[in-house]
Amino acid sequence: MAKIYDMLQARASLVESMRAVMNKYDNAEMSAEDKAEYEKMEAAYDKADKQIIAEQKQLDRERKLGEKTKEEIESGDPKKAELLKAFKAVLMQGSNRDTNESARIYAALQQDNPTQAGYLVAPEQFVGELIKELADDTFMRTKGNVLPMLRGAQSLGYPVRTTGMSSFAWGTELAAPTADTALAYGKREFKPRPGTSEILVSKTLIRNVPNVDAYVRAEMAEEVAAALETAYMTGAGATCPLGLFVASADGINTDRDVSTGNTATEIKFDNLIEVQEKVKQKYQPGCEWIFHSDAVKQIRKLKDSNGQYVWQYSVQMGQPDMLLGKPVNRSEYAPNTFTTGLYVGLYGNLKNYWICDSMLMEIQVAQELYIRTNQVDYLCRLETDGAPVMPNAFARVKLA
């Protein structure tokens, strides 16, 4: 914890030095010497920022691994604890059935046993922990609205009002009302799409790593988290979730795009105000920004009409940086191509992005498929869908 605090303070000190150089010149051109120094500090800031994020993730991983060990020890469900122990044993030792104990363990976990590869379903606790790690590593799963797990159906339909009433009219006491014909309802359907992650692990590593299940889980979580983050940002919606930065009548349409004030290659302060005011007041509580790091680099240099920087840096662990009074989420999977007419940021209430998972979450273990290369194959399967459901809760930053 002390290390994180020191890193945050060092970053804050670096920011002050950068501001001092910028204030020295205001809007004038920097000297070659100061420009070179500023670029060095900017590179150092980016490096420090990545180190802070990595350290926070590592602390979180260590915390979760510690909690998991405690849960195993204190588990009040003997059957679940036994299955978890058996699952670990198979991960570590394979499907050796020479002894009665090995046969019993394998039978408890086995669903199907083709000749070339064993197929195991992880105990419920292992699967639950995997889902938990995905939620922590992918911020949209914590910011968005994750719906109840889909059970017994291939899709989940929600009614949606497509057009409101428009028949109210002032009149006299005896005037007849006019029946409304505008009110209309449709359906928003969530159909979880399958996705997989696969990892090959050396049998030598398996023999020497005490908690191989935690290793496999962490590696798969990192890979799947990247795929989910990409889909929540820029997914086309056909075979994966529909992303926030994709113009669609099923998600956020183009009338939520704001380019006013921007140039073809840069985000400007006036545009950020326009974007923020595009979202109606009823959605403002809970609104947040999403930017790629390249966009953040531009915005950090912006000043308001009083010459004050609009970016507010966090100096507390766990607290986000702020922009115009709202938290900023950085995603390396958000768009970062600064060319005419492209999206480079978003502002909105992320609870209006819905995520629907199915129950199908499994780990497959192929013990002998890669026997000639001394490896074991682990395959993670996930089925999920997601989409923005209320366009008026969002506004996108678009270049001119």
In a domain, 193, yes or no: yes
pLDDT digits (tens, 9 = 90+) for 254-310: 999 999 999 999 999 999 999 999 999 999 999 999 999 999 999 999 988 888 889
In a domain, 108, yes or no: no
How many CA atoms lie less than 13 Å away from 50 in the CB half-sphere? 9
In a domain, 133, yes or no: yes
In a domain, 59, yes or no: no
Q: Is 98 helix (H, G, I), strand (E, B) or coil?
A: coil
In a domain, 373, yes or no: yes
- pTM, whole model, 2 decimals? 0.71
> Model confidence at 167, in pLDDT bands (50, 70, 90)?
low
**What size, in residues, is the chain?**
400
Question: In whole angstroms, what is the distance from residue 288 CA to residue 160 CA?
Answer: 24
Amino acid letter for position 178: T
CA distances from 47 to 11, 60, 316, 340 (A): 10, 20, 18, 29
Question: In whole angstroms, what is the distance from residue 19 CA to residue 252 CA?
Answer: 37
Question: In whole angstroms, what is the distance from residue 71 CA to residue 90 CA?
Answer: 20
Contacts (Cβ under 8 Å, ≥6 apart) of 184:
161, 162, 163
In a domain, 174, yes or no: no
Would you say the C-alpha torsion 77, 78, 81, 86 has a positive or negative sign? negative
* Helix or strand (DSSP H, E) at 379: strand 375-388
First and final C-alpha spacing in the chain: 43
Q: At what angle do helices 2-25 and 32-74 cross, to 10 degrees?
A: 160
Among 130, 115, 18, 76, residue whose Cα is nearest residue 360? 130
pLDDT digits (tens, 9 = 90+) for 304-316: 888 888 999 887 7
The average pLDDT across 224-231 equals: 90
Q: Is 256 within 8 Å of 390 (Cβ atoms)?
A: no
pLDDT at 130 over 50: yes
Looking at residue 320, which CATH number applies to its domain? Answer: 3.90.1690
Q: Residue written as tokens 């020191």?
A: 6
In a domain, 184, yes or no: yes
Which residue range is the domain that position 198 belongs to?
A: 117-167+179-400
What is the DSSP track for 302-358? Answer: -B-TTS-BSEE---STTPPPEETTEEEEE-TTS-----TT-EEEEEEEGGGEEEEEB
Question: In whole angstroms, what is the distance from residue 232 CA to residue 387 CA?
Answer: 8
For all residues of the chain together, what is the average pLDDT?
A: 80
Q: Where are the beta strands (DSSP E) in 115-183?
A: 119-120, 145-146, 156-163
Q: Is 350 within 8 Å of 389 (Cβ atoms)?
A: no
pLDDT digits (tens, 9 = 90+) for 350-398: 999 999 988 556 778 888 889 899 998 888 888 999 999 999 999 999 9
How many CA atoms lie less than 13 Å away from 188 in the CB half-sphere? 22
Give the bridge partners for 74, in sequence order.
Answer: none
Q: Is 80 helix (H, G, I), strand (E, B) or coil?
A: helix
Give the bridge partners for 394, in sequence order.
Answer: 348
In a domain, 9, yes or no: no
Total domains present in the chain: 1
> Phi, psi at residue 309, to the nearest 5°?
-65, 135
